[in-house]
Amino acid sequence: MPEWTVAQVATLVGGSVDGDGERRITGLSTLCEAGESDLAFYDDTRYTADFAATRAGAVLVKTGAENPGGRTLIRVENPHLALARLADEFHRELFPDEFPPGVDPTATVAPDAEFGEDARVGPHAFVGPRTKVGARARIGANAALGADCVVGDDFFLFPNATIYPRCRIGSRVRLHSGVVVGNDGYGYVEHAGEFVKIPHVGTVEIGDDVEVGPGSTIHRASVGATRIGKGTKIDALVVVAHSCQVGEYVRLIAQCGLAGSSRVEERAIIGPQAGLAGHLIIGEGAIVAGQAGIMTDLEAGAIVWGTPSGPIREMMRSYAVFRHLPEMRRGLKKVKADLAAVKAKLGK
């Protein structure tokens, strides 16, 4: 387990020390659970009480944060970013590369597959004919990489993930367990009371620095390519259907779904359990809130919610009224009864 001084940690993240720079840090933890040798972080006033009570040896905080009780602090501009960098360092130390060099003897690898420097293939994995694997790539246990694929440097295919043939994947891409890339899209033609399958003969192209969470699937295009842009992050249990075009630095969050031929432009966010109808355009920077149902195109920067969706503030006001509909109905019935009584008195 690594052991660093607070001063060393501060140097690593470009921060400054407020307190004991020689204190030893051996792990990362939360404010509530941290011990005297742990580093925690504080970046949200909702956790002020936890910050004041923490037993952490040191705490990552914003540059201008107050110091309650003379704690040892590491002041940085962005505590979340600093924590991410530190977690990467601790991960590197605590979890060394589990793959021995080369190809595991239980793996099945085509004779004409090509591998870059220090690429490694785990137990019972499969690498198909004519596939090219970049330098330092890792193919996990029981993972499958089909024929005629190309994957870039520092690629990581986690155990039990599958890439179908002819897919193109960039560098530093991470596909977690259960991910499927390049399966047929959901396409059928109804004829004579039956469903005739439409062959999907396209492919999937994934840019650099993409990460795809467990259980997600990216369908191959009917023709052409389904594309995932550079830097996009896809959460668990997400479906990207055939021929979708997902731009750079998009976030697709858990259980959302994109129907066929949808286009999601740069830096848009699709929230959890949201669904897009097919052939839509989601503009740059648009945000689709959780469980929204999108039936029409969204302009750049739009923020929507609801099913069918609408501008988020308008929909929130509508839902606030919706909760009061029963009492409003009772009030309306009383008004109608009172009005009827008045009319009866007036002989109308």
Whole-angstrom distance, CA of residue 62 vs CA of residue 75: 5
The secondary structure of residue 182, as a DSSP letter, is S
Say yes or no: 166 and 90 in one domain: no
- Residues in Cβ contact with 303 at an 8 Å cutoff, skipping those fewer than 6 apart: 286, 287, 289, 311, 312
28 is a domain residue? yes
Domain ends where: 79, 94, 109? 94
Among the options 176, 200, 219, 242, which is catalytic? Answer: 242
30 is a domain residue? yes
For 264, the domain range is: 161-308
Q: Is 38 exposed, middle or buried (0-12, 13-18, 19+ CB in 10 A)?
A: buried
Report the number of distinct structural domains present in the chain: 2
Domain ends where: 49, 64, 94? 94
What pLDDT sits at residue 348?
64
What pLDDT sits at residue 124?
97
235 is a domain residue? yes
Domain ends where: 308, 325, 343? 308
Say yes or no: 205 and 300 in one domain: yes
Q: Domain holding 218: CATH number?
A: 2.160.10.10
User: What is the phi/psi pair of residue 328, to 5°?
Assistant: -65, -40
168 is a domain residue? yes
The answer to pTM > 0.85 is: no
205 is a domain residue? yes
Tens digit of pLDDT at every position of the chain (348 positions): 568 899 999 999 999 999 999 999 988 999 999 999 999 999 988 999 999 999 999 999 999 888 887 889 999 999 989 988 888 777 665 555 667 889 999 999 999 999 999 999 999 999 999 999 999 999 999 999 999 999 999 999 999 999 999 999 999 999 999 999 999 999 999 999 999 999 999 999 999 999 999 999 999 999 999 999 999 999 999 999 999 999 999 999 999 999 999 999 999 999 999 999 999 999 999 999 999 999 999 999 999 988 877 787 887 888 788 778 888 888 889 889 888 888 888 876
Say yes or no: 66 and 170 in one domain: no
What pLDDT sits at residue 98?
67
Is 191 in the active site?
A: no
